[in-house]
């Protein structure tokens, strides 16, 4: 990690940074929703929890989502574009498992794909964009000025 901001090549205004920040913000939104309205969050997630049994499960999910959102913000803040790409790619396992879980608990395939499948697709597209080679004109020269 290079603490000199002038050498940080991932601009916060770039499309990849903005879409990564959007993902982080959405994870924080889900986290807050899981704490403030666990029954509503369970319904939106696709689980048939209608009472107090939703609280511990949605609090666990809220903690997971909070950790993911904070990690995403940290990777963007430190301009770790490739690390963010690897992180997003690795976390695609979560919406995949979520889709399988909700289908095992009564949600339709269509609902699982709409909610969790779309999250996995967003992750694949975002990770691909983050991991693609940068345009040569955007590359930062090494400290000695030679490529």
Place of tokens 């691909």: 128
Residue 35 has pLDDT above 60, yes or no: yes
Token pair of 119, please?
A: 């999250």
Q: How far is CA 29 from CA 23, 33, 41, 72, in A?
A: 10, 6, 11, 13
Region 35-48: what's the mean pLDDT?
94
Return mean pLDDT, the chain.
Answer: 90
Per-residue pLDDT at 6: 45
Q: How far is CA 100 from the centre of its chain?
A: 19
Residue 4 has pLDDT above 60, yes or no: no
Residue 16 has pLDDT above 80, yes or no: yes
Region 30-57: what's the mean pLDDT?
93
Query: Residues 84, 85, 88, 89: is their CA dihedral positive or negative?
Result: negative
Query: For 97-122, how does the pLDDT look when each residue is reduced to its tens digit (9 = 90+)?
Result: 999 999 999 999 999 999 999 999 99
Per-residue pLDDT at 10: 93
Residue 32 has pLDDT above 90, yes or no: yes
* Helix orientation angle between 38-45 and 15-36, rounded to the nearest 10 degrees: 130
Rounded percentage of the chain residues whose pLDDT exceeds 70: 86
Q: Which of 128, 126, 132, 138 is nearest to 19 (CA)?
A: 126
Place of tokens 């269509």: 110
Query: For 46-89, how does the pLDDT look when each residue is reduced to its tens digit (9 = 90+)?
Result: 998 888 999 999 999 999 999 999 999 999 999 999 999 999 99
């Amino acid at each position: 990690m290079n603490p000199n901001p002038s050498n940080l090549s991932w601009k916060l205004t770039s499309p990849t940074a903005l879409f990564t920040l959007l993902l982080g913000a959405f994870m924080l939104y889900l986290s807050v929703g899981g704490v403030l309205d666990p029954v509503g969050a369970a319904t939106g997630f696709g689980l048939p929890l209608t009472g107090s049994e939703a609280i511990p499960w949605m609090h666990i999910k809220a903690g997971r989502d909070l950790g993911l959102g904070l990690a995403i913000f940290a990777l963007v803040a430190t301009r770790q574009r490739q690390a963010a790409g690897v992180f997003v790619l690795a976390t695609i396992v979560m919406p995949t498992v979520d889709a399988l879980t909700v289908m095992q608990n009564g949600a339709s395939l269509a609902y699982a794909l709409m909610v969790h499948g779309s999250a996995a697709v967003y992750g694949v597209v975002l990770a691909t964009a983050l991991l693609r080679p940068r345009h040569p004109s955007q590359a930062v020269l090494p400290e000695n000025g030679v490529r």
